[in-house]
Structures are given as structure tokens and as C-alpha cells.
Amino acid sequence: MSKQNSPKISTALRHLRLARKQTLDEVADATRTTRSHIWAIEMGRVQDPGVSVLIALANHYGCSLDALVGRTEEIAAGRELEPIDKLLLSVIRTLDDSQKNGLLQLLQP
């Protein structure tokens, strides 16, 4: 049985995909992998998604690898978050999945 990957990666990928209203198929096509592989990564069932897949995902979502794996709060290469963005992220991190989904619904046009 394989170990699960970092919950930060799984959660980040799922939230990025849902925030962009993309399907697993759309992300898989954009990153040249399969729907089932993206799903398994999002569910934390893949021990090591592989550097090439992580790079493809970071490129697709426009973030750095460090941001994708939770090592930094950087959103795009070379851009640090503004203090207000850091504050908002710290508050969002305290929310459970249900609260985050409710906030996402509220922010949808």
C-alpha cells in the first residue's frame, strides 16, 4: 500500500481546480496526464506524483512548485503576497472544507 502524499498538495490542487471551475478531465488534458491520476493526487492516494506532473500542474495553475507543495505562500513566480492577502489566507486556513466551499459559493459571480 502506498503512502499518501502531503495533504497540502492534495488540498491545494483540489481547491485550485474547483476555484477555476475545471473538471478533472480539463486538468488532465492540460497537464497531459489522466483523469484518474489527477483524482488520485487530489485524494492523496499517490505517494509521488512525479516532478514532471507537478511542474505541469504548477504551470497550468500559474504558481511555483514551492507554492504548490505548501513551502511558500507565493502565488506566481517572483511575486510575494501583499500583507492583506497573507491575512486573508491565514483566516481561510482556519476554515473547514464546508466553510471554504460556502465562501467559494459566496464569491462566485
pLDDT tens digits for 2-22? 445 556 788 888 888 888 889
Give the per-residue pLDDT at 78.
42
Amino acid at 5: N
Q: Domains in the chain, ordered, with CATH? A: 7-79 (1.10.260.40)
Q: Which three cell numbers stand for residue 21?
A: 471551475
pTM, two decimals, is 0.61
pLDDT tens digits for 68-103? 877 765 544 445 666 777 777 778 878 888 988 888
31 exposed, middle or buried (CB, 10 Å; 0-12, 13-18, 19+)? buried
